[in-house]
Amino acid sequence: MLAMLILGIESSCDETAVAIVEDGVTILSSTIASTKDIFSSAGGVVPEDAARRQVEFILPVLHATLAEAKILPKDIDVIAVTRGPGLLGSLLVGTVTARTLSALWKKPLIGVHHTFGHLSSIWLHAESTPEFPSITLSASGGHTDLWYRTAHTNGKLLGSTRDDASGEAFDKGASMLGLPYPGGPSIAASAESGDEHTFALPIALSGEDTLDFSFSGLKTAFKNTIKDQKLKDNDPQLQSNLAASYQFAICGQLVDRIKRACKQYPEAKEVHLVGGVSANTRLRELVRHALPNTVVRTPESIRYCTDNAAMIAAAGYFMHQEKEGSALEEFETSATLPLDAFIS
């Protein structure tokens, strides 16, 4: 069978990314222009600025990706683009570009749900082929979901956050500590020299029979703890202890729900951790420690945990293979752009 080349485009937030992926697993090239450093002192993304940067970067990133893979437009089989959710202005840059290329190059276009992209990231350059059924945690700045997956395009959403996403909790916590955006890597770095048992922070919903998440109470508890400690700039050890305790509480909740899901679905063969938060080393350690007899997979590289276009291309490939030309309603987790507008 001939290999299928998918051009993926991701522009849902502050990364402008284009990738070319063969058969959903082999990355021929993947380019990411990130504007995170621009927003690091602002404490978060400014939507209008992010959209402006997307306009600036999209064509240079596209050209660089085609050149690196030594691929001509005629060699591309399908174009896949993130259709949402995300920042509307940023998303429009990617979707308009994809629709234009699709019309110009006469290639079919697939609209991919951003979360489905993250779920597919486990397959990129995986050492061995991942297996279903899986329990998958998808945790990022915009969502925190737990899935029971039986195929790429078949799954059941077991639980979601009832308020903030876990990545957002990292971002807000970092800002409270005076650490730069994005908060996940900043907190993780500060936590390395801290003691995670210094402050006991709450694990939300641990008394409830649920696979949902909640982080807003933890954020408030953290804010109060910082206030009580009268954190000063010149006490890096206290800052590290706070960061470590906060990281431990976020990860603790994620691990607790994964463990419950594995108990409820003993037929699950593997646990997958995806999304920006899956880059967290402590989370990986805690999950592996809690489930010593389970195959726990994370994306092959940290680059594929956070937003990238290779995962969108991979997702487009799996959608094409399993559900050619049709929508993916079961992966809808929130209101987004109309899917039909982006499928031809």
Site for ligand KG4 in 11-50 (CB under 6 A): 13
Give yes or no for residue 14 binding Zn ion (CB under 5 A): no
Q: Which two tokens stand for residue 155?
A: 């799954």
In the complex, least distance from residue 137 CB atom to ligand KG4, rounded to whole angstroms: 12
Residue 29: which of 272, 308, 307, 249 has the closest Cα?
308
279 binds, among Zn ion, ligand KG4, none (CB under 5 to 8 A by kind): ligand KG4
Consecutive H or E run containing 28 = strand 26-34
Nearer to ligand KG4, 111 or 133 (CB): 111
Instruction: Judge whether 74 and 44 are in contact, CB under 8 Å.
Output: no
In the complex, least distance from residue 207 CB atom to ligand KG4, rounded to whole angstroms: 25
Give yes or no for residue 182 binding ligand KG4 (CB under 6 A): yes
Helix (H, G, I), strand (E, B) or coil at 44: coil
- Piece of the chain touching ligand KG4 by CB under 6 A; list 3-11, 152-160, 199-207, 269-277: 269-277
- Tokens 């940067």, residue located: 53
Which member of 24, 159, 185, 252 binds ligand KG4 (CB under 6 A)? 185
Give yes or no for residue 191 binding ligand KG4 (CB under 6 A): no
Name the DSSP letter for residue 303. Answer: G
Instruction: Judge whether 284 and 235 are in contact, CB under 8 Å.
Output: no
Q: CA dist 82 to 162, 213, 314, Å?
A: 24, 25, 12
In the complex, least distance from residue 112 CB atom to ligand KG4, rounded to whole angstroms: 13
Strand order in the sheet with 144-151: 154-160, 144-151, 134-139, 270-274, 295-297
Give yes or no for residue 252 binding ligand KG4 (CB under 6 A): no
- Piece of the chain touching Zn ion by CB under 5 A; list 64-72, 105-113, 133-141, 197-205: 133-141
Give yes or no for residue 316 binding ligand KG4 (CB under 6 A): no
Which member of 85, 155, 159, 167 binds ligand KG4 (CB under 6 A)? 167
Residue 153: which of 315, 336, 10 has the closest Cα?
315
Residue 136: which of 301, 44, 265 has the closest Cα?
265
Give yes or no for residue 85 binding ligand KG4 (CB under 6 A): no
Q: Which residues bind Zn ion (CB under 5 A)?
A: 140, 307
Q: Which residues bind ligand KG4 (CB under 6 A)?
A: 13, 140-142, 167-168, 170-171, 182-185, 188, 275-277, 279-280, 306-307
